[in-house]
Structure 1
């Protein structure tokens, strides 16, 4: 992030205020909640009692973070109009949610699920499927958490003009996150999401208005400028770019919708009506969030022409300086907005960490190490395990392995392989655990080999999508070619009743 004119003491004050507010929210969320730390559902799912406002904003924070602003605007700057794909792949996530979320909610409520793999264990009764899905989900969460830790340090250090070094910034905000999450669990996470979501929405709008003011108030002038000086950025994308766009839609749409922390938001809803209402409002967020950030990136082409790749990564900071210099109102809005960006990154990290620790406590420890452990002990194991995981990831964060975008793509390549088991299993009773296991394993191996050997895309198609296609073929073909597995009578009744319950 470039040197900000409001970096320094003003930035430190705003970040300190956000940190204090988050700690207060954590304290108030846990105060008086006697069962919070003794119940998996209470700690990890807020007692499955999130109302519309809290659920909407925690879903919003799950899908968007401060990186959406800091990372997507430079991508639009470098790519031009073809980066409109960022709006479409955020939109498809909502469509995929609606494909399975109401149906999953019904069975999760009946079976009292806590983690995503609770569904897979219930559906397939296979230790192999459960273990493999746990590994792939932990892989995805670990990569995502690492991405957020790196971003926290960069954003906080940039906002304070380097007064707070990168490493210190990471440690301070990680400690804040661990404290309020320890105190209030999912409830604290959801309420901090409300605060940060509101600030991000308002800040993005003001940022765009300020950017348009700087270029004369007309986006038509921006389009004309880009078309005259950099026509490649307004040209029709090549076939490979278009294929890559479609591949990204599949990778992100299927991968992000089964993020463990996203699935747990589904479990946390107060009711199915609340869940559907939240998703219906979420459908408007891609154009309001990524759509506006896309426009910001295009305005940046006119404001700061000729930036190279590393220079374009500083675009949001460069524009913020220009906007903050307009008048005192914009100055303070930019300070609060950038503080909100840091807080939003922390908010995304806390959601990921909470889900990561739930998988450790409920799935790894509770299902395979100590099945007879009390829920209180499982919660404590998850808390401690989460702290250990953060320490290990912090060690990696000192020397980030690759750009944020590379880390972003990497986590989807393997996580998306869980999708066929997760969603196809909701609709197709014939799908069996053996086919699911081999499809997931072979798809993950293929995606991993392609990714780590440098073949991230082949003719524009991501390695994860190629692995996913093979995964689907094995799941469907294997299930059709093998004898139907007899399920328990109770499981047959539960699956058969889903259609009735969802329609009702």
Structure 2
């Protein structure tokens, strides 16, 4: 519930929003090639981003507004379980260091724009490529919607657009304006817009987090008092489950769930189309490798970010409020303890932290539809100019769809579908990552494995209830054959892998046609100095 508009914080918030809006439109002239109507230019920034631009772009892409809201909210509500995000990012970067440079190289040689392009070229299978593309779009949509949830939490705390009794238009007008501006500069500038804005976003996030973990504990009596308060809260018994509401450390029964969720999330992280888009925009294989080495610096920020959940408990945020929404814990913590002007800075970090990934996600979804649905099945003879125009229009439709989704449906549904999105996107891992190293898997076997993983993951998630919903109430269930609670996505992945391997043996024994592989071994180690694909515009030199 809001208690009037925080004018000072709102003015600071709006000023930063205006700054990034200007940057978004200016980005259309940044490193622009002669031919801007090419998907390489609009959708991948000309494949020209150097180490630092890529670092900021991927950081802005991976660490979203919802991360800023949800990670500390999970710690606020359950304690140690919410810290799973820290080990999963630590696991992710060494893992993807092994295969992302190979994906960049083969994409550079053949002009691939999406992971589904690679699957199409590697296995010669339109059906498998379509499955990967649709899974990517499906998993991305609720992710975009959740950026809106982050912005709404900020706007509600600022006291604008969320007052009781306001009609729907007045209540949601600030959100309409924010996403109309986002849609305009994304349409105009493509991937260059979030790449440029990411510099502002990441700088603000680091400033806010560092100030928060130093200044707020001084206001709250120190970390000793903060952890004591959190421990007291988590020791309380839930009258429904007759179990403690949380824990400062994960107990034996929770360790399988914690470990499998961290591992499965790490494997899924760079399967999302928007993260692949950020990688393929890099100017060289060396740029990709450097970023996998330096991106773990963000994991330190994530660990500090998670601590805000404990700080919110110590500050008494939401205490005694029946049915309190933990998603509001961080915004209300900032609003209650920061000076108004710095509250505006913190809220700008969250708001801009929504705009950057939302832009990249909509671009990635548009690239998938354009290359792997429109050109593959609707208009195979489409020119690069036609592809780009379609991608621009689809990026607008994706944003409108996400906006309607959030405004018209329960927020809990958006959260649950995002959890389901992680389960889904992990089922593309076998086709993409295995394909970067071996052609052993049969295309039909991979399609069958993908289908089994998707069906099992969706079915198990559907059967999970929570206090907020009857279905899709979580992402962990009993692991068959082990009896421990674990991440559904990882179990579905193992089933996917087993089916793919078993059917490959059967299909190979039966002599089933395997499809044409258009790639060559040398393609997977190609460097930036090698010849460009014939249909790609020449990118300008990195600045």
Deviations 1:445-497 (A, max 9, x none): 11112222337432322332222111010122222333276675863xx1366
Select which of 316, 321, 327 maps to 2:330.
316
Deviation at 1:40, TM superposition (A): 0.7
Aligned to 1:341: 350
Aligned to 1:265: 278
Distance 1:397 1:82 in 2: 26
Deviations 1:12-67 (A, max 9, x none): 42333233222322222213835464111011001000112211011111111122
Answering whether residue 192 of structure 2 is matched by residue 187 of structure 1, we say yes
Answering whether residue 297 of structure 2 is matched by residue 284 of structure 1, we say yes
Judge conservation of contact 1:414–1:464 (CA < 8 Å) in 2.
yes
Answering whether residue 2 of structure 2 is matched by residue 13 of structure 1, we say no
Distance 1:246 1:424 in 2: 23
Unaligned runs of 5+ in 1: 325-329
Aligned to 1:238: 251
Aligned to 1:392: 401
Deviations 1:269-328 (A, max 9, x none): 11122222222111121122x20122221222222174565254332133213322xxxx
Aligned to 1:219: 223
Aligned to 2:360: 351
Alpha-carbon spacing, 1:498–1:360, altered in 2? closer, same or farther (3 Å) = closer
Deviation at 1:393, TM superposition (A): 3.0
Structure 2 residue matching 1:430: 3-state secondary structure: coil
Aligned to 2:504: 479
Alpha-carbon spacing, 1:143–1:82, altered in 2? closer, same or farther (3 Å) = closer
Aligned to 1:95: 94
Identify which range, 34-43 or 126-135, moves more after superposition.
Answer: 34-43
Aligned to 1:144: 143
Correspondence list, 1:394-433, <5 A: 394-403=403-412, 405-433=415-443
Distance 1:224 1:199 in 2: 30
Deviation at 1:3, TM superposition (A): 3.9
Deviations 1:368-400 (A, max 9, x none): 111111111111111112222332332222133
Deviation at 1:86, TM superposition (A): 2.1
Alpha-carbon spacing, 1:110–1:463, altered in 2? closer, same or farther (3 Å) = same
Select which of 269, 287, 303 maps to 1:256.
269
Aligned to 2:524: 498
| Higher helix fraction (1 or 2) | 1
Judge conservation of contact 1:4–1:317 (CA < 8 Å) in 2.
no
Judge conservation of contact 2:139–2:418 (CA < 8 Å) in 1.
no
Distance 1:66 1:331 in 2: 20
Distance 2:103 2:82 in 1: 33
Alpha-carbon spacing, 1:432–1:449, altered in 2? closer, same or farther (3 Å) = same
Deviation at 1:246, TM superposition (A): 1.8
Correspondence list, 1:460-471, <5 A: 460-471=485-496
Distance 2:327 2:107 in 1: 42
Correspondence list, 1:447-466, <5 A: 447-454=457-464, 456-459=475-478, 460-466=485-491
Deviation at 1:335, TM superposition (A): 1.1
Select which of 354, 376, 380 maps to 1:371.
380
Alpha-carbon spacing, 1:82–1:481, altered in 2? closer, same or farther (3 Å) = same
Judge conservation of contact 1:35–1:42 (CA < 8 Å) in 2.
no
Select which of 288, 294, 306 maps to 1:294.
306
Aligned to 1:327: none
Deviation at 1:244, TM superposition (A): 1.3
Select which of 169, 172, 175 maps to 1:167.
172
Alpha-carbon spacing, 1:41–1:500, altered in 2? closer, same or farther (3 Å) = closer
Deviation at 1:260, TM superposition (A): 0.5
Deviations 1:161-209 (A, max 9, x none): 4478542122111111111111211111111111111101111111222
Distance 1:213 1:432 in 2: 60
Aligned to 1:111: 110
Q: TM-score, normalised by structure 1?
A: 0.90
Judge conservation of contact 1:145–1:353 (CA < 8 Å) in 2.
yes
Distance 1:302 1:279 in 2: 36
Identify which range, 118-127 or 379-388, moves more after superposition.
Answer: 379-388
* Runs of 4+ that moved beyond 6 A: none
